[in-house]
Amino acid sequence: MLISNRCLYSCMWIFIVSSATFMSVAIIGNLKYPDANIINGNAKKVVIKKDVTNFIKDVAIDTKYQKPFFPDVEQDNVKDLQRNDLPQSAYDIKKIPKETEVKQDMKEDMKETLVKSDDEITVEEEIRSNQDQVQETLKGMSSSEREYYKMRTERVNPFDYEFLVKGENICEPHDPPYLVLLCLTRFYDIENREAIRKTWGSVATTRSWPLVNSKIPTVKIVFLFGGPVDTKVKQSILEDESARYGDIVMADFVDSYVNLTYKVMMGLKWVNTYCPQAKYIVKVDQDMFLHVINLIRYLEGIDDPDPGIVLGYVNARARVLRSGKWGVNFDLYPPTSYPNYTNGNTYVISGKASVKMLKAAEHMPYVFIEDAFLTGIVRTVVGLKIIDHQGFARWNDPPPRICSFHNPFRIAATNTDDTLKESLWKALKYRNLKNCYDAVKRHRVA
Ligand SMILES: *[C@@H]1O[C@H](CO)[C@@H](O)[C@H](O)[C@H]1NC(C)=O
Ligand SMILES: *[C@@H]1O[C@H](CO)[C@@H](O)[C@H](O)[C@H]1NC(C)=O
């Protein structure tokens, strides 16, 4: 789900200001580590953890450092505290495989994808015949709901728009990417794209990451655009940016809020057409910070059975709104709730599923809520397994703290502006949480 940034920021500020007010009161009152579990701030209830030691122990790579060392660490937001309850297995992180292993994997994938995309009818048949997984995802639903999730025989929602800026050379057949990052940014936010290219997106060009010495698999970043009604000017500007950076793709549909689903369908179509060997596809919004290496390490360790997986922060049993900004017409989607789906700010889809996802999306009625449609409805039709990972971000998460990504479980954070992206990026070069916070304390990072 999406919310206007303006509202998010103002809500955040109310929260920060009221938290800061409380902190000063607490310090003046010599209340260093409050015992109370719940404190009423002006805007929100804030849970304060009694013992910060556990928190630090849990998030730190270096577990030796167990004393509170930075005055605001104790006031971690609720979400981080909840992340303390993660299963231990979440921390079992595999090493990044040697390049030869990755390449071998990719050759296998490449064969499979090419065969499947050859014959359109086969794709439909495959989706329809994949009933085991589909039945699994339909468990607990009424018969009318089950009926709804049958793929339509007609292409009720065709995506026939042409690519105007093709980005046909972004992926190279001899070096197929492990990850393709499909990035959604506002056209005029050139600085935002610069910030992404300089920070977490730089792995696509430098193939390096702060403090990572092992070989990093190939990653590609692609910024997706539609057009206005008359696309000529926009197209020439984007062609320019494409010539400079080689990471732009544009198609000729009208880029608008209601057309957001088309934008991601366009991304799937682009992967199918110009990057079919990609092992995983990541959809990521412009206000995100993505720890690409933590993501790769996680993906290396999971089971990815056919027809593929969807990974992200899962919204369970979300109710369908019928009016307002997120209102969806009953005729297009009658059920009262969405199937479990991942938050749209960042999610991952197996590359091998992209052909089926696009096919199924074209055969289902258009729902403009892109994450609910693609990772909920379409995922259910195709029968993809969904993996909930709380290291991704909720739609309404506050901005991360500077050293948040020293938790190897943390994959994505929302609400990061360009400056925060740069601070987070700099913070990654400190080897452990203590060093990072010491640096923050000395104002070296920010
Ligand atoms: C969505 O895109 C199509 C194709 O360009 C266009 O005809 C339509 O007006 C767009 N819808 C909105 C609401 O922008
Ligand atoms: C949706 O997610 C919730 C919480 O993770 C889970 O309990 C429920 O079984 C899921 N529903 C389906 C249909 O998988």
What does the pLDDT read at residue 312? 98
The ranges of the chain with pLDDT < 50 are 1-117
What does the pLDDT read at residue 125? 84
Among 19, 21, 23, 50, which residue's Cα sits nearest to residue 37?
50
| 353 plus 253 within the same structural domain | yes
What does the pLDDT read at residue 57? 32
Enter the tokens of residue 71: 């005055």
Cα(259) to centroid of ligand 1, in Å?
6
What does the pLDDT read at residue 119? 57
Q: Is the CB of 70 under 6 A from ligand 1?
A: no
Please identify, by atom number, the ligand 1 atom nearest to the C-alpha of residue 256.
14
Choosing from 370, 388, 406, the residue where a domain stops is: 388
What does the pLDDT read at residue 138? 83
> Tens digit of pLDDT for each residue in 153-165?
999 999 999 999 9
What does the pLDDT read at residue 135? 79
| CATH number where 326 lies | 3.90.550
Q: Is the CB of 388 under 6 A from ligand 2?
A: yes
Q: Is the CB of 114 under 6 A from ligand 2?
A: no
Residue 436 near residue 403 (C-beta atoms within 8 A): yes
Cα(45) to centroid of ligand 1, in Å?
42
Which residue has a Cα nearest atom 1 of ligand 2?
316
Count: domains in the chain: 2
**Residue 63, Cβ neighbours under 10 Å: how many?**
12
Residue 309 near residue 245 (C-beta atoms within 8 A): no
Which residue has a Cα nearest atom 8 of ligand 2?
316
| 130 plus 66 within the same structural domain | no
- Which residues span the domain enclosing 304? 99-388
| 231 plus 290 within the same structural domain | yes
Please identify, by atom number, the ligand 2 atom nearest to the C-alpha of residue 141.
13
What does the pLDDT read at residue 245? 97
Instruction: Note whether residue 397 is domain-resident.
Output: no
Which residue has a Cα nearest atom 7 of ligand 1?
254
What does the pLDDT read at residue 208? 97
What does the pLDDT read at residue 444? 61
| 16 plus 103 within the same structural domain | no
> Tens digit of pLDDT for each residue in 219-262?
999 999 998 877 789 999 999 999 999 999 999 999 999 999 99
400-421 burial string, b = 16+ CB within 10 Å, else e? bbbbbbbbbbbbbbbbbebebb
